[in-house]
Amino acid sequence: MLGGFACSDYEVKNLTVEDVFEQTQDPPADVLFVVDNSQSMSEEQLRLSENFGTFVELLTTTTADYRLGVTTTDPAQGGVLVGEVITPDTPDPVVTFSTLVGVGTSGDRDEQGLAMAALGTREDVNLGFLRSDAVTHVVFVSDEDDHSPEANVQRYVDAMLQNKPGESLFAHALVGDPPAGCLGGTSAADAGTRYLEAVELIGGLRESICADDYGVGFEAIGLEVSGGNPVFPLSQLAARETIEVWVEEVKMYQREIDGWTSSIGDNAVVFSGHAIPRPGMGVRIAYQPG
């Protein structure tokens, strides 16, 4: 019997598979926040400032080179950035953004976020903001739908695509849920139908502005902006209970927050939050085939 157990153990060890990865380097990221500054936005702007730390922490731990700028949905602003551009050299980016995102509530009630994004991505409007080697992200934040004068959303999408100096452009929306809007603990919002159409046309993420906590939404958008790859597909179908994961030879916890989970559909290990490996880090995943 002892021999039988020893033989089984030897065979199991021989069946163990190890997949080794290296986290990819992140491209520079330029992010334009288009924030609604109409009368109904005071609570939402406060939640933006309170939850922005989640976004910045992801950028500072993954993307080494970023630029963040803020403009408003008010046509009188013309897409011009409010205040300074936030970079890795900004002494306290969270405090700075909290100040910038407080754009006030005296803006035009006919919010024109798409038109302001088309203007804000122009070089002659915001000189030197967008770079040719960076991925451009536009983040719309509004509790009402877009009222830009051009009825065809594709026109504004085409303008942004033409304006961007880099190879890639993504759009993300923190807006009201379709089809009829949404209610939150302290806020209500109309459906952001036109913003969501732009997201569908360009590609990006959508989050609800009625959420009581924007932390989850900011984390999702931050991961998208940072380019940090959270998904590591396995070379063979794995027995899930046998999976073990190391990053830089440090064994990682299996958990949904700041850890890793296994995705059955993708046959992959998926990292979350602060556990997502930084550029250049080695990842080793051991498992037995299932």
Answer whether residue 263 shows pLDDT above 60: yes
Tokens representing residue 256 in the block: 């949904």
The predicted pLDDT at position 4 comes to 32
Q: Which residue is listed with tokens 């063979």? A: 236
Return the SS3 of 279. coil
Q: What pLDDT score was predicted for residue 97?
A: 85
Q: Is the pLDDT of residue 282 over 50?
A: yes
pLDDT at 229: 74
Burial 258-276 (b: 16+ CB within 10 A, else e): ebbebeeeeebbbbbbebb
Using CA atoms, how far apart are residues 113 and 116, in angstroms rounded to an integer? Answer: 5
Residue 140: pLDDT above 50? yes
**Per-residue model confidence (pLDDT) at position 28:** 87
Query: What are the pLDDT digits (tens) for 212-253?
Result: 888 777 877 887 787 667 889 999 999 999 999 999 999 999
Q: Which residue did the predictor score with more confidence, 135 or 225?
A: 135
The whole-number average pLDDT for the span 168-188 is 87
Report for 78-87, 197-206, 223-232: range of highest mean pLDDT: 78-87
Closest CA to 61 of 252, 256, 271, 278: 278
pLDDT (tens digit per residue) in 25-74:
777 889 999 999 988 888 888 888 887 777 777 777 666 689 999 999 99
Distance CA 237, CA 226 (A): 29
In the predicted structure, residue 172 carries a pLDDT above the cut 50: yes
Stretch 12-18: mean pLDDT, rounded?
A: 75
pTM over 0.85: no
Q: What pLDDT was estimated at residue 62?
A: 64
Query: What share of the chain in percent tops pLDDT 70?
Result: 92
pLDDT at 132 over 70: yes
Q: What is the mean pLDDT of residues 134-153?
A: 94
Average pLDDT score over the chain: 86
Q: Is a pLDDT exceeding 70 seen at residue 1?
A: no
Q: What is the band of 147 on the pLDDT scale with cuts at 50, 70, 90?
A: very high
* Whole-number Cα distances in Å, 160 to 151, 164, 198, 199, 204: 16, 6, 10, 12, 14
8: confidence class by pLDDT, cuts 50, 70, 90: very low
